[in-house]
A and B are shown apart, each in its own frame.
Chain A
Amino acid sequence: MRFELTEDQRDLASTLEGLLSASDTVAVARAWADDDTAPGLALWKRLADLGVTMLATDASPVEVVIAFEALGRHAVPGPWVESAAYLPVALGREITGVATVTVPPGAEGLDADVADEAYLALGGDLFEAVHGDRIVSVDRTRRLFESTPTDPVAHHDLDAAFDLAVLATSAQLLGAGERVLADAVTYVKQRKQFGREIGSYQAIKHALADVRIALDFARPLVLGAALGEVPASAAKVQAGDAAYLASRTGLQVHGAIGYTAEFDLSLWITKVRALLTAWGTPAFHRARLLEALVGRDD
């Protein structure tokens, strides 16, 4: 019985953290949102060189969680869930380059214009896909395109692929939530009103404490899902709720500055909102969990 990361896993986390901290990911994300994808694709290559795109096929879901938490913490743009979680399982191979896939209940292809390969899952089958018109997301770094199926392709277990994508999204939400909390804590220690740091007021303290608690109880479900202890849906619901609470609270304690596009907090607030419903809404995952629970015999 040992429920904590191994030394190798902690090393992976700190390597990713080091790389992303030094990569000005905020500038990369902002450029990506403005259709300047060159810096993002350069960062993509560095992360792929580090092995992020081969974790789904060559490592365990725990490593996938570690990588996606880091991607979420640093708001790294691009079709990572598609290329490094869903498709490696669906196609049974590592993706070299950039790939995207449209999977119901979602209907859009993320960043399809930069993808070397594009797919669409439909009725238990997988097709190649072409993209059409652009759709604007609340998260401007999520560049969505209409997607149309063409030729069918051979595939592996699409349900397993979906579950790994759900898990990866949960980890991204966890990372984004942690980032918002950390930035909010920094801010309320600096910002003074009525003669003292606003972080010394209980109204602020208790709100941020609730975010800490929510994230602390989302993490074990994300890691637990990676180990197969609970379904991926459990991770998605809990991480989604926690990250959303973080984003609402983070915005509130920042006040008006947090509501501006210019202030970097906006990247995470909009991303959390988008990821909350990506790869299955909270209601979809709760319904899935309820069905599994009620159908259980013990």
Chain B
Amino acid sequence: MDLTLSESELAFQAEARAWLAAHVPAEPLPSMDTPEGWARHQEWEATLAEARWSVVSWPEAYHGREASLVEWVVFEEEYYRAGAPGRVSQNGIFLLAPILFDHGTPEQQDRFLPTMATGERIWAQCWSEPEAGSDLASLRSTARRDDERGGWVLDGQKTWSSRASYAHWGFGLFRSDPEAQRHAGLTYFLFPLDADGVTVRPIAQLDGEPGFAEVFFEDVFVPDADVLGGVGAGWNVAMSTAGNERGLSLRSPGRFCAAADRLVDLYRDSPEGPDRDAAARGVVDAWLGAQAYRLYTWGTVTRLAGGGDMGAAGSVNKVFWSELDIALHETGLGLLGSSAEEESAWLDGYTFALSGPIYAGTNEVQRNIVAERILGLPREPKPHPGGGR
């Protein structure tokens, strides 16, 4: 049991802190879901990459520092403490990149990782379909073999694709074997969102900005070189993304620790009265939740460093942080009293937090995973086709 950082980890922390203090924009950037905000966030990614802070855990050849898992957590903590901008490249660097490292060919790694690290090419995740949300394996978009051109032809529709309104490339699952059932016969594809036959229709989110989009595919040709992880292997490849998304990488503890500290500040500066009194418990619980999440993460890091894997613990994690995020921001709005409805960073944070229990697999799906894979409870019997039991 030892929660202290080593000398080299402390040096890494100090370097990150100093750089962030000197470079983080003084004013928050406009929303990344607006044209101006998008451009500013892309510039920020370039600034990070220039100093090799955009993808600290990656190999040096791809703009990284080969940082350890401990250093990655330390960096994230410093990043959020410094109030640095949200990561517009998040879907690429946190969700796609681990798959590229594990399943991509060296050619794919060389072609895709450098521009991902610099933020020059932003990636969107294309998973859900109108009829395939929580039941992702029922997806219907197809990939048809085209031997003549040496590739595949995509058809169908994806939806709720985060960042797709402005992003350059997408990654997603398509049914490449129409005969295969559900999880079998799916293939993972990478494709430019300006390819012939791709239509992107932005969808405004609760805050009015087009943070996600529908993506339509009509005879879209994708060469074999852009199949990731083998034909028919898409489900397993995608599930390794899901583990990343739910687990460590998507929501680092630094984000919640920084938000809890801001909540304590807000409480301290709030006028005495019923709103402040009512918020007291929420302030303590938000801080406790953030500390619990921080320490829990160190436990996970220790386990992973020892060769263990996340397993279904990513689902435990996801339910916890998504509910913590909402409760924390609800308490913040409570402290703002009757001005809570007015535009503010707390309101933005709250609106964003509301999506947490829905994306990356709804919390209902996560609770099923916790119950079945961790507690060992029996699966629900499948209903017979045609209804009834």
Contact = CB atoms under 8 A, between A and B. Distances in A.
Interface stretch (A74-82, A89-97, A210-218): A210-218
A197 B301 CA distance: 36
A86 B41 CA distance: 54
B288 A237 contact: yes
B352 to A, nearest CB: 22
Interface stretch (A4-12, A145-153, A154-162): A4-12
Given A3-B3, A209-B375, A227-B1, A202 B380 contact: yes
Interface stretch (B118-126, B176-184, B332-340, B364-372): B364-372
Interface in A194-247: 196-197, 199-202, 204-206, 208-210, 212-213, 216-218, 220-221, 223-224, 227, 229-230, 234, 237-238
Given A209-B367, A217-B296, A4 B302 contact: yes
A105 B171 CA distance: 59
B320 A213 contact: yes
A218 B306 CA distance: 23
Given A1-B5, A205-B367, A237-B288, A200 B377 contact: yes
A224 B288 contact: no
Given A62-B1, A237-B284, A293-B284, A213 B370 contact: yes
Interface-centre pick from B6, B281, B288, B378 (highest chain A CB count, 10 A): B288
B contact patch SS: helix
Contact of B316 (A206, A212, A218): A212
Contacts of B368: 202, 205-206, 209
Contact of A217 (B292, B378, B381): B292
A93 B283 CA distance: 39
Chain A interface category by residue count: 35 or more
A13 interface: no
B319 A290 contact: no
Interface string B131-164: 0000000000000000000000000000000000
A199 B1 contact: no
Interface of A: 1-6, 9, 62, 181, 185, 188-189, 196-197, 199-202, 204-206, 208-210, 212-213, 216-218, 220-221, 223-224, 227, 229-230, 234, 237-238, 286, 289-290, 293-294, 296, 298
Given A201-B380, A212-B316, A237-B285, 19 more contacts: A3-B298, A5-B1, A9-B1, A185-B375, A189-B377, A197-B378, A199-B377, A200-B381, A205-B367, A209-B374, A213-B370, A217-B289, A217-B293, A221-B291, A223-B1, A227-B1, A230-B295, A290-B283, A293-B284
